Amino acid sequence: MAPFRSADLLRRKPVAQIEGEHPPEGLHRSIGLFQLTMLGVGATIGTGIFVALTTAVPAAGPAVILSFVLAGITAALTALCYAELASTIPVSGSSYSYAYATLGEFVAFIVGACLLLEYAVSASAIAVGWGQYLNEMLVDLVGWRLPDAIAKPPGAGGVFNLPAVVLVGACMVLLLRGVKESVTANAILVVLKLLVLLFFVVIAFSGFHARNLTPFMPMGVAGVGAAASSIFFSYIGIDAVSTAGEEVKDPRRTLPLGIVLSLLIVTAIYILVALAAVGAQPWTAFKGQEAGLAVILRNLTGQAWTSLVLCVGAIVSIFSITLVVMYGQTRILYAMSRDGLLPKVFQRLHPKTRSPDLNTYIVAAFIGLLAAFVPLDVLVNLTSMGTLIAFAIVSLGVIILRRTQPDLPRGYRVPFYPMLPIASVAFCGYLIIGLPLDTWVLFAAWVAAACAVYFGYSAKHSKLRR
């Protein structure tokens, strides 16, 4: 084998080679447009509304509505870039695979590391919030709640978050049954949680008071940006859609449509729920409020059943998000392992279900540990950092691929090129700057660890090198 050279860092995988890596014995194409759209909505709607409002509203005040608009605009710009690359390179691996074709192996590996951080940490953050609504449901049903030591994350009075571990285990079992069963279950859960959120909006608007919107921007423009940065992890579903590239029917048409449709649904629901929530109670009441939406309904109506409906919806919602995010992470690990950048254990498929079984066990164990022992605010900000980095690189990838391979077949083309991809990068950069210093430090440590893995293992075992 030839010695490693610095030029190897920039070696790119031809698009034709990437598309040719879908063998008959590999992942099975069984996902249609409706299931794919529900996959994106399921991976997106949930924690950003059910849990993150309690941290976002204190940062921005009623102007959190603008924070969701800002995050939505950034996500929309990126979604159009994703749609072009997904229709051009319809494979598993998402932005990792796109970076491999456009920016080279080393950047692709770092993007893959960002995605793994983004998915693992977001799944953990989502699972942490599950326990809050589970406790509220128990209060409404039997007047009893789980002890804080096993129901809350460290930093919020907990020692070991047991509900989060149970949730991750349940998602693991469903994923091991196969992708068809998983996406069907997800579609049902997504429809249910959309109905529950619309139920919240109707009741919350009945108690809407305009005075709760004043002062509208108590923390200024900086507060709006900071809140948008922290809630951006809620838009991870865009990336999750593209990880299904090898399991989608007619991917050049279905992938871009699924990405755009899921984003439109998500942004509309987010803004509606945020407006209803901040209009129904003073913005100062959100700080430290667990299971916030359920509490709002109970306070407005004085009826426990309204809170119970919301709690059930949140429990179902958070389950579906955790399921899809874990699904996305297993597929990224599968793609990186197939390229030789990670050990072969991550690409082993179960002979019957055609799902990456050992990969799924490892992912579930890692996410479960994070959810059990790491504080929620750390998880949320780290997820936003990983998501924004990956989104910015996807937008750059559109520009590079247009220049290097302009005649490549594309099922969809970004409008207003190149201004739209450039705007996407700029918006992502603005939100990254708004993240706190400790997030930057933790992210730098993760990237340093990724570099150690790349130069210690991946660079030597890369299939492109061989």
| 153 token code pair | 């994350």
What CATH number did the domain enclosing 106 receive? Answer: 1.20.1740.10
Identity of the residue numbered 396: L
389 assigned to some structural domain: yes
Identity of the residue numbered 427: F
For 138-167, write each residue's pLDDT tens digit. Answer: 877 777 777 877 777 666 666 777 888 888
13 assigned to some structural domain: no
Q: In which domain, by residue range, is 297 found?
A: 36-461
* Total structural domains within the chain: 1
For 386-399, write each residue's pLDDT tens digit. Answer: 878 888 888 888 89
Identity of the residue numbered 401: L
pLDDT band at residue 60 using 50, 70 and 90 as cut-offs: confident
2 assigned to some structural domain: no
Give me the phi and psi of 31, to 5 degrees please: -105, 125
**CB distance 391 to 72 below 8 Å:** no
| 367 token code pair | 């996410």
**CA–CA distance, 399 with 5 (Å, rounded to integer):** 27
Q: Which residues neighbour 369 within 8 Å (Cβ) at sequence distance 6 or greater? A: none
Q: Which residues neighbour 200 within 8 Å (Cβ) at sequence distance 6 or greater? A: 273, 276, 293, 296, 297, 310, 313
Q: Which residues neighbour 142 within 8 Å (Cβ) at sequence distance 6 or greater? A: none
Sequence-separated contacts (24+) of 358-361 with Cβ below 8 Å:
359/330, 359/333, 359/334, 360/172, 360/175, 360/176, 360/326, 360/330, 361/172
User: Most confidently modeled of 171-175, 289-293, 372-376?
Assistant: 171-175
**CB distance 299 to 151 below 8 Å:** no
Query: In this structure, how many other beta carbons lie within 10 angstroms of the beta carbon of residue 26?
Result: 16
| 465 token code pair | 């090198």
233 assigned to some structural domain: yes
28 assigned to some structural domain: no
Percentage of the chain with pLDDT > 90? Answer: 3
In the block, tokens 């079984």 appear at 357
Percentage of the chain with pLDDT > 70? Answer: 82
Query: In this structure, how many other beta carbons lie within 10 angstroms of the beta carbon of residue 7?
Result: 8
Q: So what's the pLDDT on residue 83?
A: 79
For 291-347, write each residue's pLDDT tens digit. Answer: 677 788 888 888 878 888 888 887 877 777 787 778 778 888 888 888 888 888 887
172 assigned to some structural domain: yes
